[in-house]
Amino acid sequence: MTVRERLLQELATLPDTALPEILDFIQHLSTQLDAEEAEEDERDRADALIALKEIQQEGTIAWETLKAQL
């Protein structure tokens, strides 16, 4: 049984009065995960900009040259 199936099974046993709190928690968790993903995207973007600046300042080397150095 998957986690999703287990969650659905547990939800089916809860009284309707508990469902708003469960929904609130799920929405909070979703918002938190979205924020974490946005932060990671921003870090990736910043890293890419740094790499682009390095390429502009130092240039690049040919793949064959790099392989020969290894």
Q: What does the pLDDT look like over 6-35, one tens digit per residue?
A: 999 999 999 999 999 999 999 999 999 999
> 19 and 27 in contact (C-beta within 8 Å)?
no
Long-range pairs of 26-29 with CB within 8 A, sequence gap ≥ 24:
none
Distances (CA, A) of 10 to 4, 26, 37, 44, 45: 10, 14, 28, 38, 40
Task: Say how far residue 33 (Cα) sits from the centre of its chain.
Answer: 7
pTM for this structure? 0.58
| Domain spans in the chain, listed from the N-terminal domain onward | 18-69
